[in-house]
Amino acid sequence: YCASKHALKGFNDALTRELADSSVRVQYLSPRAVGTAMNGAAANALNVELGNAVDAPSQVAEIIARQIIHGDSRVQIGFVESLQVRLNSLFPGVIDSALAKQLKQIKQHF
């Protein structure tokens, strides 16, 4: 799952740069946890235990609509998540350490 998200981000970046001189607008949105029926009990319990924010699908849809209307090329939902993305780019070891501390909890749910 994480590898697929990373691949989509890389594809988006490449496509944005390749089409920069065209009228094609490429947009990328990175949601955080979304509360859908697709989530199983284990995923829901993990989000509660870790204190992860979970957005309703309607909230995400509103953010997507705003992104399209405003023409924002990249949107990361959530302040904490946005900070984590930036930290991971600059100091991946910090994120590695934080996730390592949560690994036991994560593995209990899956």
Q: Residue 104 sits in which domain range?
A: 28-109
Domain count, the chain: 1
- Tell me: the pLDDT tens digits for 42-93? 999 999 999 999 999 999 999 999 999 999 999 999 999 999 999 999 999 9
Q: Comparing C-alpha atoms, which of 52, 25, 20 is closest to residue 39?
A: 52
Give the SS3 label for residue 30: strand
- Percentage of the chain surpassing pLDDT 70? 100
Would residue 16 count as lying in a domain?
A: no
| Structure tokens, 23 | 């009228």
Q: For residue 91, what are the contacts with CB-CB under 8 A and spacing of at least 6?
A: none
- Kindly state whether residue 102 falls inside one of the protein's structural domains: yes
Identify whether 5 is part of a domain.
Answer: no
